[in-house]
Chain A
Amino acid sequence: MAVEVDTAAQFSQFAHPERLVSGEWLEAHLGTPGLVVVESDEDVLLYETGHIPTAVKIDWHTDLNDPVERDYIDSAAFAKLLGSKGIARDTTVVIYGDKNNWWAAYALWVFTLFGHEDVRLLDGGRAKWEADGRAYTTDPESATAVDYPVVERNDAPIRAYKDDVLAHLGNPLIDVRSPEEFSGERTTAPAYPEEGTLRAGHIPSAVNIPWAKAAAEDGTFRPLDQLNALYRDEAGLKDGDSIVAYCRIGERSSHTWFVLTHLLGFEGVRNYDGSWTEWGSAVRVPIVKGAEPGDVPAAR
């Protein structure tokens, strides 16, 4: 049974306000039957240093990825993972994390691949929860296992593969990496050279809107008018567009995917999770260098 939505005024402006909860709401609802809080971080130890009371930990790298192939876990593994965390198919899941909810948004996106319906983000993530002086606990995780059904993972609506992106050229592409990665000055994100590629630059015609522009200083999402200025005015996105967002391994673009889909209400937004670590090393794919998007290339 879905837990009531957060009707806070700051969320009502968004297309899908039910996708966000505030710290105030979460604090008041901790322990509500049917609610599970999930922490998902870049730093794999943060949960252990202190987490929101009752929260369970799901790590994108070690829990949601297949240990061998570069893909997400399959339906059976997802069912096993969620069941072990006390999450049933109709559970309301609230995800939060470090770095402006960067990995939390990635986890939410993976939940969406499996069609988990009620999954929300804690606006502002860990940073805001802490800044507001709310409590953490170091109690070990104590979920009671439940049954989660084995449901088919449905990638097509929200996930783009490399060939999908080639076929998509001519439609809006949002590159959410840093300007230096976009222009091809560097093959890696600042501070992340371990994810280097063989070539630098961006997918032709992509517009560069670094993901963090959607977040305010306190880690919360910016208000609707600012997001519209960024994505509709600056990036030129229009209702009805088919949109693909990408970054380096798909985590920053999950944040942008969340903004476009749930806050601005675009339908048909896909995250290209292969992103630059695939495109920048793939054979015979078009690449543009420099600060300009560049033209849509002729089909090869």
Chain B
Amino acid sequence: MTDLPEQLAEIRDDFLGLAVKERLQLLLEFSNELPALPERYADHPDLFERVEECQSPVFIFVEVDDANIVHIFAMAPKEAPTTRGFASILAQGLAGLSADEVLAVADDFPQGLGLTEAVSPLRIRGMTAMLARIKRQVREKLSS
């Protein structure tokens, strides 16, 4: 397996360095940090793909720019802080990576964050699904 990109590995290490209960607080911080949509997308919810696997509605949109760098935008309601936290981890952890680097991230990366115990295995699957969607959108962007 390929090593995780540096910023994703840092996020993972930050979680693993905390007691289980404190990991929830860090997830909440990520949740609060999920950036608002850039203006060019704010009025275009139609561009976003809903991740059906998530328990709460979350919408994901991926851009691959001319330099082959991936940008991820996500939108989830404030009533779904866990989902927002998952999206925020991925958006921050994958920010600035090349398309190939994103595609090389292990599909089961969410299972290694130390959150399974804190949020339950069932819930963490929502994040795994989100990562799969992001990778699929990157592949689609590359082939189009």
Q: Is A bound to B? A: yes
Give the interface of A toward B (CB within 8 A): 42-46, 48-49, 59, 61-62, 65, 98, 190-195
Minimal Cβ-Cβ distance residue in A for B78: A49
For the A-B complex, the count of residue pairs with Cβ-Cβ distances under 8 Å equals 61
Minimal Cβ-Cβ distance residue in B for A60: B120
Taking the complex as formed, is B4 at the interface, i.e. its CB lies under 8 A from any CB of chain A? no
Cβ contact of B55, chosen from A42, A48, A59, cutoff 8 A: A42
Q: Is the CB of B123 within 8 A of A61?
A: yes
Q: How far is the CA of A59 from the CA of B24 in the complex (A)?
A: 13
Cβ contact of A191, chosen from B54, B79, B119, B120, cutoff 8 A: B54
Cβ contact of B125, chosen from A43, A44, A59, A194, cutoff 8 A: A194
The smallest C-beta distance from A102 to any residue of chain B, in angstroms, reads: 11
Q: Is the CB of B79 within 8 A of A45?
A: no
Range for the number of chain B residues in contact with chain A: 20 to 34
Q: DSSP class of B's interface residues: helix, strand, loop or mixed?
A: helix
- A42, A191, A192, A195: residue with the most chain B Cβ atoms closer than 10 Å: A191
State the 10 A-B residue pairs at the shortest beta-carbon distance, nearest first: A61-B120, A45-B81, A194-B125, A45-B82, A44-B119, A43-B82, A48-B28, A49-B81, A191-B52, A44-B82
The smallest C-beta distance from A151 to any residue of chain B, in angstroms, reads: 26
- Knowing A62-B119, A191-B55, A194-B122, the reply to whether A43 touches B129 (Cβ < 8 A) is no
- In the complex, besides A43-B56, A45-B81, A48-B24, 18 extra interface pairs with C-beta distance below 8 angstroms are A43-B80, A43-B83, A44-B123, A45-B24, A45-B27, A45-B82, A45-B85, A45-B119, A49-B28, A49-B78, A61-B120, A61-B122, A61-B123, A62-B117, A190-B52, A191-B53, A191-B54, A193-B53
Q: Is the CB of A44 within 8 A of B122?
A: no
Contacts of B9 in A (CB 8 A): none
In the assembled complex, 6 residue pairs joining A and B whose CB atoms fall closer than 8 Å, in A order, are A42-B55, A45-B82, A61-B120, A62-B119, A62-B120, A192-B55
The smallest C-beta distance from A103 to any residue of chain B, in angstroms, reads: 11
Contacts of B129 in A (CB 8 A): 194
Q: How far is the CA of A126 from the CA of B43 in the complex (A)?
A: 29
Contacts of A44 in B (CB 8 A): 24, 82, 118-120, 123
